[in-house]
């Protein structure tokens, strides 16, 4: 246990670090709440503030207050030019998240001399702050990257088996129709066939604004230089997928509950699929989440989310009414008499 004078200095450090942590968290929370409009991440930040206050309760609050010496703080007049310059909201976020993490580390170190249990609890809060930083930054970057992405179309190898030339024409037509994302999903093909078709998709889409996603297989996404991979709940984790495809590629995750949607945000997905909303003609499901989950996600999570499952020209308007203006479809386009017309109609509803 430190001597009284040293103990007073330690409480002064803890008081300052605790204040800095709260200030930084408040700045970040205000941005997430009022700029991103993300209720889930706002709640996580608020919980972190409350958990820090709880973690500090074993310490003597009055000792921290009595040790405070704002007027005598030599750091008051120590400034750098960059302190008063913020070129973007990203810099504001980064500066304040760094302030939070550094201050938590200071609390963690100095409480070791007073109460090791407090130090251990604060250490866990620091790690949580790193996870939240990733989720916040990825949400922000994904919203920018997928800002105009509204229509996501799932395709298989049917046209390829009929004629590779016809397959190419179909893809070009869908691109011209305004499809933002294409996902290649076909359980009947070999890995080699996936790679052959995937490389053709890369050739067709790379000069355009349309991006294509490999279903399930991160390794095949790498082999074909796809724009990303889409993972189901039983596939590899987002973390493992990221190690394979790298930082610049998109990772999507299928979610069927609000808990899974929240976890995908924390795990570092770039977007989520929400469904199945309605019965589908292309994939069988034991149950359907309906529009209730779509509405719940729209109200709580701002990471780009695509409603999926049985969506077509007749019900896509109901999806939009929930507040979610992104949809993933399959048969509504691929099985339509005029796929291009069907895609344009869906896109028109989603962007209206």
Domain that holds residue 76: 4-143
Residues 190 and 269 in one domain: yes
User: Based on the structure, what is the number of domains in the chain?
Assistant: 2
Quote the pLDDT of residue 60. 77
Q: Is the dihedral of CA 279, 280, 281, 287 positive or negative?
A: negative
Cα dihedral: 115, 121, 127, 132 (round 10): -130
Q: Are residues 123 and 223 in the same domain?
A: no
Q: 30 and 156: one domain?
A: no
- Residues 96, 110, single domain; the answer is yes
177 vs 348: CA distance, rounded Å: 10
- Tell me, yes or no, whether 122 and 249 share the same domain: no
User: Are residues 138 and 160 both part of a single domain?
Assistant: no
Whether residue 156 sits in one domain with residue 134: no
Answer for the pair 217, 194: CB distance below 8 angstroms, yes or no: yes
Q: Give the residue from 88, 115, 143 where a domain finishes.
A: 143
Give the pLDDT of residue 71: 62
Neighbour-count burial of 192, counting CB atoms closer than 10 A to its CB (0-12 exposed, 13-18 middle, 19+ buried): exposed
Are the beta carbons of 69 and 19 closer than 8 angstroms?
no
Phi, psi of 47 (to 5 degrees): -65, -35
- 170 and 33 housed in the same domain: no
**Domain stop point among 109, 143, 177:** 143
Task: Give the per-residue SS3 of 241-285.
Answer: HHHHHCCCCEEEEEECCHHHHHHHHHHCCCEEEECCCCCCCCCCC
Helix 116-145, helix 258-267: angle, nearest 10 = 100
* Helices 258-267, 290-300: crossing angle, 10 deg rounding: 40
Enumerate residues 6+ apart whose C-beta is below 8 A from 177: 339, 340, 341, 343, 344, 347
**pTM over cut 0.85:** yes
pLDDT tens for the chain, 352 residues: list them: 567 667 788 988 999 999 999 999 999 999 999 999 999 999 999 999 999 999 999 987 676 666 676 666 656 666 666 655 655 888 999 999 999 999 999 999 999 999 999 999 999 999 999 999 999 999 999 999 999 999 999 999 988 999 999 999 999 999 999 999 999 999 999 999 999 999 999 999 999 999 999 999 999 999 999 999 999 999 999 999 999 999 999 999 999 999 999 999 999 999 999 999 998 766 656 678 999 999 999 999 999 999 999 999 999 999 999 999 999 999 999 999 999 999 999 999 999 8
Residues 70 and 152 grouped into a single domain: no
- The closest alpha carbon to 290, from 308, 272, 317, belongs to 308
* Contact residues for 221 (Cβ-Cβ < 8 A; gap 6+): 198, 213, 214, 228, 229, 244, 245, 249
CATH of the domain at 294: 3.20.20.70
Q: Given this model, what pLDDT does residue 81 score?
A: 60
**Of 91, 123, 143, which residue constitutes the final position of a domain?**
143
Among candidate residues 301, 256, 266, the one with its CA nearest the CA of residue 40: 301
Cβ–Cβ < 8 Å for 240, 247:
no
Same domain, 85 and 226: no
Same domain, 180 and 106: no
Closest C-alpha to 298, from 274, 334, 332: 274
pLDDT on residue 11: 87
Residues 172 and 305 in one domain: yes
Q: What is the DSSP letter of 188?
A: T
- 205: closest CA among 178, 175, 229? 175
DSSP-derived 3-state class of residue 59:
coil
Residue 159 pLDDT: 83
């Amino acid at each position: 246990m430190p001597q009284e004078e040293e103990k007073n200095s330690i409480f002064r450090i803890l008081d300052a670090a605790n204040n800095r942590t709260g200030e930084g968290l408040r700045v970040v929370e205000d941005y997430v709440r009022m700029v991103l409009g993300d209720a889930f991440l706002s709640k996580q930040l608020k919980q972190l503030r409350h958990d820090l206050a709880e973690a500090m309760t074993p310490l003597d609050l009055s000792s921290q207050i009595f040790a405070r010496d704002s007027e005598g703080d030599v750091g008051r007049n120590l400034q750098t030019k960059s302190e008063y310059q913020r070129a973007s909201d990203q810099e504001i976020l980064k500066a304040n998240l760094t302030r939070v993490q550094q201050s938590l580390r200071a609390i963690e170190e100095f409480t070791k001399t007073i109460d090791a249990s407090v130090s251990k609890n604060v250490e866990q809060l620091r790690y949580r702050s790193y996870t939240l930083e990733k989720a916040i930054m990825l949400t922000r970057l994904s919203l920018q990257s997928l800002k105009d992405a509204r229509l996501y179309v799932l395709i298989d190898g049917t046209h390829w088996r009929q004629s590779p030339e016809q397959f190419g024409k179909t893809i070009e037509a869908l691109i011209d129709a305004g499809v933002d994302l294409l996902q290649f999903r076909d359980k009947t093909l070999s890995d080699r066939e996936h790679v052959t078709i995937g490389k053709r998709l890369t050739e067709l889409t790379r000069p355009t604004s349309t991006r294509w996603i490999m279903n399930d297989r991160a390794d095949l996404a790498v082999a074909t230089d796809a724009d990303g991979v889409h993972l189901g709940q039983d596939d590899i984790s987002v973390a493992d997928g990221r190690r394979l495809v790298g930082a610049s590629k998109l990772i999507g995750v299928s979610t069927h509950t609000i808990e899974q949607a929240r976890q995908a945000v924390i795990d570092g997905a770039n977007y989520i699929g929400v469904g199945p909303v309605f019965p589908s003609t292309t994939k069988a499901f034991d149950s359907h989440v309906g529009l209730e989950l779509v509405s719940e996600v729209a109200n709580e999570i701002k990471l780009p989310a695509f409603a999926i499952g049985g969506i077509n020209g007749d019900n896509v308007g109901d999806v939009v009414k929930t507040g979610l203006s992104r949809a993933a479809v399959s048969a509504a386009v691929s099985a339509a008499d005029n796929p291009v017309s069907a895609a344009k109609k869906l896109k028109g509803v989603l962007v209206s």
